[in-house]
């Protein structure tokens, strides 16, 4: 979606995983909570998001992935955007039944070498990345028990954001996220085309 919009994708999960790979103090600090499927603290997240927004690549717009996840983060984002003179063009919620989410997440495989993401539905039991031949692994937090914990955390801490954004200025677009990737992609494009007439930044 970010590539099609020609803007960077700012994934807080990727930023945290990168900090862990690099062995920074931040990486060590968030390790335990991430592996348990819990959220890391709002302060940490707001700090890395504020820093990511300073990157020149983000000057022409951006897509957030995995952020905001709490009401405190949503408030923090609103403040950040106001300070920067930016606004949200669209807020999308991809709606997928829990059973399907668990099947998707526990079948996800990530390439150690290039970070490519693939799925057992496409590659079966293969252990090598179809893109580059690198070794594929299952994220610790993609283990079925941890996925169930992540869904519970979502219900408690993130779901209230649906109401928050539905009542907000930008509004909330709920997209049916079930079905094949190209079908869901088409639904997202259609929703964004509707929002694009209002896009200014
Ligand atoms: P993700 O790749 O977005 O599923 O994120 C993986 C893990 O990183 C989450 O389960 C959390 O532990 C942590 N994380 C990522 N984004 C956030 C966020 N916005 N707020 C709190 N924790 C986060």
The atom number, within ligand 1, closest to the CA of 70 reads: 20
- Ligand 1, from 9, 36, 69, 142: best to mutate by most atoms within 8 Å of Cβ? 69
Q: What mean pLDDT, rounded, does the chain reach? A: 92
Centre of ligand 1 to C-alpha 44, Å, is 11
Q: State the fold for domain 89-201.
A: Rossmann fold (3.40.50)
Q: How far is CA 57 from CA 7, 15, 134, 172, in A?
A: 8, 15, 28, 26
pLDDT tens string 38-51 = 999 999 999 999 99
Distance from the Cα of residue 146 to its chain's centroid? 17
The first and second tokens of residue 86, run together, are: 């930016």
| Ligand 1 proximity of 45 Cβ (cutoff 6 Å) | yes
Instruction: Look at residue 119 and give its three-state secondary structure.
Output: strand
CB 17 less than 6 A from any atom of ligand 1: no
Can you give the pTM of this predicted structure? 0.89
Q: Tell me the backbone φ, ψ of residue 143, rounded to 5 degrees.
A: -65, 140
Nearest-atom number in ligand 1 for the CA of 69 is 19
Q: Assign domain 1-87 to its CATH architecture.
A: 3-Layer(aba) Sandwich (3.40)
- Rounded to whole angstroms, the Cα distance separating 93 from 99 reads 17
Per-residue pLDDT, 144: 85
Distance 53 CA to ligand 1 centre (A): 18
Nearest ligand 1 atom to the CA of 30 is: 12
Q: What is the residue extent of each domain of the chain?
A: 1-87, 89-201
Q: Answer yes or no: same fold for 1-87 and 89-201.
A: yes
Residue 27 alpha carbon to ligand 1 centre in Å: 12
Quick one: which of 70, 57, 78 has its CA closest to 10?
A: 57
Please report which confidence band the pLDDT of residue 196 belongs to, taking 50, 70 and 90 as the band edges.
low
State the Cα torsion 148-187-162-45 to the nearest 10°. 70
Could you identify the atom of ligand 1 that is nearest to the CA of residue 11?
A: 3
**Token pair of 55, please?**
């990157």
Supply the DSSP string of 127-180, one letter for each residue: -B-TTT-PBEE--GGGSHHHHHHHHHHIIIIITHHHHHHHTSSS--EEEE--S-
C-alpha to C-alpha distance for 78 and 68, rounded to whole angstroms: 10
**What pLDDT is recorded for position 114?**
83
What tokens were used for 52?
């990511």
pLDDT in tens, 112-162: 998 899 999 999 999 999 999 999 999 888 988 899 999 999 999 999 999
Determine whether the shortest distance from the Cβ of 48 to ligand 1 is under 6 A: no
């Amino acid at each position: 979606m970010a590539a099609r919009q020609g803007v960077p994708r700012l994934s807080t999960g990727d930023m945290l995983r990168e900090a862990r790979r690099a062995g920074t103090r931040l990486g060590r600090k968030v390790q335990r909570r991430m592996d348990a499927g819990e959220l890391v603290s709002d302060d940490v997240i707001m700090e890395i998001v504020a820093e990511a927004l300073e990157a020149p690549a983000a000057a022409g717009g951006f897509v957030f992935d995995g952020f905001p996840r709490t009401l405190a983060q949503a408030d923090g984002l609103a403040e950040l955007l106001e300070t920067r003179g930016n606004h949200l063009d669209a807020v999308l919620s991809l709606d997928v039944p829990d059973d399907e989410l668990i099947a998707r997440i526990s079948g996800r495989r990530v390439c150690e070498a290039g970070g490519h993401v693939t799925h057992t539905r496409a590659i079966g039991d293969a252990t090598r990345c179809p893109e580059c031949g690198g070794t594929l692994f299952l994220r610790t937090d993609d283990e079925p028990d941890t996925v169930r914990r992540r869904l519970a955390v979502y219900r408690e801490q993130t779901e209230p954001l649906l109401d928050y954004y539905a009542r907000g200025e930008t509004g909330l677009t709920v997209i049916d996220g079930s079905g094949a990737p190209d079908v869901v992609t088409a639904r997202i494009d259609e929703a964004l085309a509707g929002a694009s007439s209002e896009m200014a930044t």
